[in-house]
Amino acid sequence: MSTLKAVRGTRDLLPPEVSVWQRIESTARAVFARYNFGEIRTPVFEDTALFSRSVGEETDIVSKEMYTWEDRARAQSEKSQSLTLRPENTAGVVRAYIEHKLGETGQLQKLYYIGPQFRRERPQKGRYRQFSQIGAEVIGPPSAGSESPLRDAEVLEMLATLLDELGITGWTLEINSVGSAADRARYNETLRTALVPLAPKMCVDCQRRAVTNPLRVLDCKVPEDQPIIDTLPKIVDSLDDASKAHFVAVTAALDAAGVPYKRNHRLVRGLDYYTRTTFEFTHGGLGAQNALLGGGRYDGLSEAIGGPKAPGIGFAIGEDRLVLTLQALNQETAPPRVDAYIAPLGESLNAPALALARELRRAGLSVELGDGSFRLKKSFDTADKTARRIVILGEDELQSGILTVKDFSSGIQTKVPRAELATHLGMPGE
């Protein structure tokens, strides 16, 4: 029989590597809490229409990357429906915002999520079919200040803080404004006209985009098309005064907070719902897939999926890429060792060893439990790979209540009364 393997583009994350993921997630949770964000958990699958209406029909995600299936009705009272594994989480968060009438609180909603997303992309390093995103959204009625450029700057400053606290040095923040829906429509027409004589010289995707959604041409990565794209009109020249002023206020706040950024006129991002501020943090250590995270403002998204006016701004960090960056920077931590390894000397000591392990674990220590069938040498070898200290539990130790403890970093062996054992094992190495 052929052996079954994880599906192409998906991966198992095993210890000890998974500890890097845990550290990233706990740092993210701690930073988000300092900025008063609460966690939201939305389902991993949604009605397909949610993504086609928000992300956009003409985007790569919706046109070719979604895992979509027809979910058959189980009963006469049910209808079959088209469902999709979420390719991103912003649409789900905004759907939940509308469904739970969070706008009626009159408050800004500051929500973060951590979880898997699914896209049928061509797998390569840094690009998977199941990947994890850490993201956050600030959304609310305009009266709660959701359109304020201060919100954009605060989100960007929070991201700079998070990357710094994770130990990711050398990131670049690229930022742009894609203007209001009207600005974008105007720019799309400007581009469409400019592309008429140029498109025939470009790749097939660009030839199609030049007609269906000219803005997408700016996302093209084909090297031969780049000099042509550089000659196209810039979106900044299509922005109205309000969008220009909004962008100036975002950058002024970033300057005041000392967050460095670069303006990238081509940054329009791959999703249709963005308005005004768009941004990406990139890192040189990632190679071709150099985007660590991306995001922007989506002032019309809620209305596009049938909700009230609810401007917002958010981002999604590629957690897989954070891990790759930390590995490239050698910031991974050594696999953690447990506080103690208990070695029962003989199978008759297995049960008392479990009782001792229970006592120590309840005192808050991390403990690995050996087996009395092991020779002492094997116990020492195993303990030296996994624990800071080994505790020998023989018949004498059990009777006397005095245990033999060896510290692996110093090589010192000591006798410790059972009542003092937890305190002794909790101390840093001698």
Is 133 a binding residue for ligand AMP by CB under 6 A? The answer is: yes
Shortest Cβ contact with ligand AMP: which residue? 318
Q: Which of 88, 154, 174, 407 binds ligand AMP (CB under 6 A)?
A: 88
Here the tokens at position 298 are 């989506």
H-helix or E-strand spanning residue 405: strand 402-407
**With CB under 6 A as the contact rule, which of the stretches 46-54, 119-127, 156-164, 222-230 interacts with ligand AMP?**
119-127
In whole angstroms, the minimum distance from the beta carbon of 291 to ligand AMP comes to: 4
Is 62 a binding residue for ligand AMP by CB under 6 A? The answer is: no
Cβ partners under 8 Å of residue 297, min gap 6: 152, 274, 275, 276, 277, 278, 311, 312, 313
Residue 162: other Cβ atoms inside 10 A:
23
Answer yes or no: are the C-beta atoms of 261 and 296 closer than 8 Å.
Answer: no
Q: Which of 311, 318, 370, 372 binds ligand AMP (CB under 6 A)?
A: 318
Answer yes or no: are the C-beta atoms of 115 and 132 closer than 8 Å.
Answer: yes
Is 272 a binding residue for ligand AMP by CB under 6 A? The answer is: no
In whole angstroms, the minimum distance from the beta carbon of 290 to ligand AMP comes to: 9
Q: Which of 112, 131, 298, 341 binds ligand AMP (CB under 6 A)?
A: 131
In whole angstroms, the minimum distance from the beta carbon of 146 to ligand AMP comes to: 20
Helical H segments across 105-148, by residue range? none
**With CB under 6 A as the contact rule, which of the stretches 95-103, 147-155, 285-293, 325-333 interacts with ligand AMP?**
285-293
Is 320 a binding residue for ligand AMP by CB under 6 A? The answer is: yes
State the DSSP code for 337: P
Q: Which is nearer to ligand AMP, 60 or 371 (CB)?
A: 60
Taking only Cα atoms into account, the Rg of the chain, rounded to an integer number of angstroms, comes to 28
**With CB under 6 A as the contact rule, which of the stretches 179-187, 202-210, 287-295, 411-419 interacts with ligand AMP?**
287-295
CA atoms within 13 A on the CB side of 351: 1
Is 92 a binding residue for ligand AMP by CB under 6 A? The answer is: no
Answer yes or no: are the C-beta atoms of 180 and 242 closer than 8 Å.
Answer: yes
CA dihedral of residues 186, 187, 189, 194 (deg, nearest 10): 150
In whole angstroms, the minimum distance from the beta carbon of 255 to ligand AMP comes to: 24
CA distance 240 to 184: 10
In whole angstroms, the minimum distance from the beta carbon of 270 to ligand AMP comes to: 6
Here the tokens at position 141 are 């009625």
Which is nearest to 357 in space by CA: 345, 344, 347? 344
Residues 288-307, one symbol each (x = binds ligand AMP by CB under 6 A, - = not), give ---xxxx-------------
Residue corresponding to tokens 């029989």: 1
Subset of 20-59 contacting ligand AMP (CB under 6 A): none
Subset of 138-177 contacting ligand AMP (CB under 6 A): none
Q: Which residues bind ligand AMP (CB under 6 A)?
A: 88, 119, 121, 126-128, 131, 133, 270, 291-294, 316, 318, 320-321
